[in-house]
Structure 1
Amino acid sequence: MGHSQELSEFKRGTVIGCHLCNKSIHEISLLLNIPQSAVSGIITKWKQLGTTATQPRSERGQRMQKCTVRRSRQLSAESIAKDLQTLCGIQVNSSM
């Protein structure tokens, strides 16, 4: 099963608005044609963080680093560190 696109800020706001009007997760799901799990996740995130905006993923740099090292075992540590700095904005110490 493929991944669907993330919901727009307007739809997430509509979910919170319906929640504040005491609609159930099932009712919101049917009304907006969104899966119940997505509705529940939006409400949970809003209660915990106070926002419905998407948060940055923290694993991206680590995965990029592993892929870069695996693909190019011939490269020096300095060149890999420079690549990560330019691509991801991550400061990496090449002398480990």
Structure 2
Amino acid sequence: MGRSLELSEFKRGTMIGCHLCNKSISEIFLLLNIPRSTVSGIITKWKKLGTRATQP
């Protein structure tokens, strides 16, 4: 099974923006209709790496 499509830079930025506005992961995934694991992964990577860009 292949990988799914990547999220746009805008959607990743929206997730980070919601997180910075003190929204919980549950609220973010309900607002944006994106799987909870994806939201959690993006926020974790952002905290660790300091960037929301895709990594090779």
Tell me the residue number matched to 1:49.
Answer: 49
Following superposition, the deviation at residue 2 of structure 1 comes to 5.6
- What is the CA–CA distance in structure 1 between the aligned matches of 2:32 and 2:3, rounded to whole Å? 19
Q: Percent identity?
A: 84
TM-score (ref. length: structure 2):
0.92
- What is the CA–CA distance in structure 1 between the aligned matches of 2:39 and 2:46, rounded to whole Å? 11
Q: Counterparts of 1:1-96 in structure 2 under 5 Å?
A: 3-56=3-56
Ranked by relative contact order (alpha carbons within 8 Å, sequence separation 6 or more), the top structure is: 2
* RMSD, matched Cα: 1.2
Gaps in structure 2 of 5+ consecutive residues: none
- What is the CA–CA distance in structure 2 between the aligned matches of 1:35 and 1:48, rounded to whole Å? 20
Amino acid at match of 2:33: N
TM-score (ref. length: structure 1):
0.55
Gaps in structure 1 of 5+ consecutive residues: 57-96
Q: Which runs of 4+ in 1 moved over 3 A?
A: none
Name the larger-Rg structure.
1
